[in-house]
Amino acid sequence: MENKIHAPLEWYTVQRKVKELVPCDFNPRQINDADMKKLRESLEKFNLVEIPVIDLDNTLIAGHQRVAALFVLGRGEDNIDVRIPNRKLTEEEFKEYMLRSNIHNGEFDWEKIEEFFQDLDLEGIGMDMGDFDEFLKQNAVLPPEEEGDFDASLPEKTQSVEGDLFELVSKDKNIKHRFLCDSSTDSENWARLLGDDKLNLLLTDPPYNVDYQGGTKDKLKIKNDKMSNDNFYRFLYDFFVNSYVFSHAGAPAYVFYSDSEAINFRQSMLDAGYKISSTLVWVKNSFVLGRLDYHMQHEPVIFCEETQPTEIETHRSLVYGWNAEGAHPWYTDRKQSSILRFDKPQRNADHPTMKPLDLMGYLIKNSSRQGEIVGDGFLGSGSTLIACEQNWRACRGFELDTRFSDVIVRRWVSYMKENGLAYEVWRNGKQLTDAEIEQFNKKSEE
C-alpha cells in the first residue's frame, strides 16, 4: 500500500460532466471580470483546448476558471476531457501542482497563499515573492484594529445635508470609502456614488417596514420604516434593481430582513434579477422583550439575501444570493454553517438595529477580497463601513437620514484616531479641515 501511494505519477485523459467537477476550497487563482469575459469568448469560439486537471475524487487542481466559465455558458451537463492521476495526490503534491500550473497565469489571492501554502518552498516552485512579501509586510505593520466607545448621540442640528457626498480616505491602506446622504432607490444617485465602479459585494440592512423605534433615550427612528404593502415592495424593488445593475456579474448579496416582510423582500430581489441561494440565521446572545408570544433570538439574512418584530428578539435572518449574470465567488472553505453565532452589540445608541462588526467582517471576508468594493444601501450608523475599514475593503453606501450621516463621519474619524491611522475627510469634492471635522462632534446648536 505504501509503494502504491508513492508510485510515480502517471496521467490519463478521461471524461467527466462539468457539473461533477468540484472546486478546491483553497484555490488561490483569481480572475477579474474582463478576463472572465475573454475566457468565455474563447470557449465559445475555440471550445475547450486546455483541459482541466482533477484528483481521483473529482476535485479540481487546475482549470477552475475554465470550469466556471463553462457553467456560465450553460454547459454544466456537457462531458469534457480532464486529466486524472493514477493515484490520489498527497496534500503537498496537490498544492504544489496547483501553484505551478498558475504561476504564469492570472493573479493570486495572497490571503489564501498565506493561509494554505506557506508550508511549501514557494520561491523554489518559481513564484515571484515580491508581491507576497509586500502583502505580509502590510498585514504585519498594524496590530488588530478595534473600535472603542464613542459619543453616538444624535445631533439636534446636523452638519450633513441631503445630497452630500462624503469620501473617507484611509491613507495608510490607500482605500477610499464613499457614501451619499441620499436615497438608494434612485439610479442617478448610484451613478454619482459609483462613477465607473461596480460592487463586488452587497451587504445591507434595509428598513423592515415595522415602524421600528429604538429603546435608547433618543428613541431612534428609521426612515422609510412604515409603508403600505405595495409601497414597501416598490421601495425594495427600486433599491434591488439599482444594486443589481451597479454590481459585477455574480456579485454576492447578503440582506438582513424581517420575517413579517419575507415575501416582499424575496419577491423584490427575484424580480430585480437576483438568484436567492439560502437563508442564514444570526443567533443573538440575548433577546429583547416585546409583545409577541415567542420572543425571537435570531435574525434572518438572505444570501443572494418579522407583523412587527416586537417579539423577544434574539435572532435575525439574512437572505444570501448573487447577481445571476455570472458565477459567484467564494473565498473560504466549505465548512461554513447557515447558523451565525455572534453576540449582538451591548448598546444600539448608534442605530436601533445595529449589527456587530465581527458578524459583518465574517460575511465580508467570505465573499470578497481585499481592495474590493462592498455596497450598502442603508448604512445607518456605518457598521458596514467600519467593517470594510477593518478588513481592507472599500465601502460605497447610502444614508438618507442626515443625523445618521453625521454619526457615520464621527464614528469613522473616532475609529481612525483610536487605531493611529492617517485619514482625510472630503465632502462634495472639498477636503475638510480638522476644525470642520470637529463640527460633526457637536450634539446641539451652540
Q: Mind listing the pLDDT tens digit for each residue in 213-229?
A: 444 444 444 454 467 88
Exposed e or buried b for every residue in 117-156, given b needs 16+ CB within 10 A? beeeebeeeebeeeebeebeeeeeeeeebebeebebebbe
Average confidence (pLDDT) over 13-22? 94
Average confidence (pLDDT) over 49-54? 93
Question: Is the model's pLDDT at 101 over the cut of 90?
Answer: no
Lowest mean pLDDT among 81-85, 130-134, 259-263, 283-287: 283-287
Nearest to 167 by CA among 194, 201, 147, 185: 194
pTM attached to this predicted model: 0.65
Domain ranges of the chain: 2-141, 165-441
Question: Is the model's pLDDT at 409 over the cut of 90?
Answer: yes
Let me know how many helices (H) and strands (E) the chain has, helices first. Answer: 14, 18
**Residue-level pLDDT at 98:** 86
Residues 322-335: tens digit of each pLDDT: 998 888 888 777 77
Residues 295-305: tens digit of each pLDDT: 555 565 666 63
Exposed e or buried b for every residue in 82-111, given b needs 16+ CB within 10 A? bebbeeebeeebbbbbbbeebeeeeebbbb
Question: Is the model's pLDDT at 315 over the cut of 80?
Answer: no
CA distances from 284 to 222, 253, 341 (A): 21, 21, 6
CA–CA separation, 380 and 179 (whole Å): 11
**Residue-level pLDDT at 124:** 73
Question: Is the model's pLDDT at 272 over the cut of 70?
Answer: yes
Collapsing DSSP states into helix, strand and coil, what is residue 226?
A: coil
CA–CA separation, 292 and 415 (whole Å): 37
Average confidence (pLDDT) over 267-294? 76
Which amino acid type is present at position 241? V
When pLDDT is cut at 50, 70 and 90, the band that residue 348 belongs to is very low
Domain 165-441 has CATH 3.40.50.150: yes
More confident of the two residues 136 and 69: 69
When pLDDT is cut at 50, 70 and 90, the band that residue 138 belongs to is low
Collapsing DSSP states into helix, strand and coil, what is residue 276?
A: strand
CA–CA separation, 373 and 74 (whole Å): 28
Question: Is the model's pLDDT at 243 over the cut of 60?
Answer: yes
More confident of the two residues 352 and 90: 90
Mean of the per-residue pLDDT values for the chain? Answer: 81
**Residue-level pLDDT at 146:** 61
When pLDDT is cut at 50, 70 and 90, the band that residue 136 belongs to is low
Residue 263, class by beta-carbon neighbours within 10 Å (0-12 exposed, 13-18 middle, 19+ buried)? exposed
When pLDDT is cut at 50, 70 and 90, the band that residue 152 belongs to is low
When pLDDT is cut at 50, 70 and 90, the band that residue 206 belongs to is very high
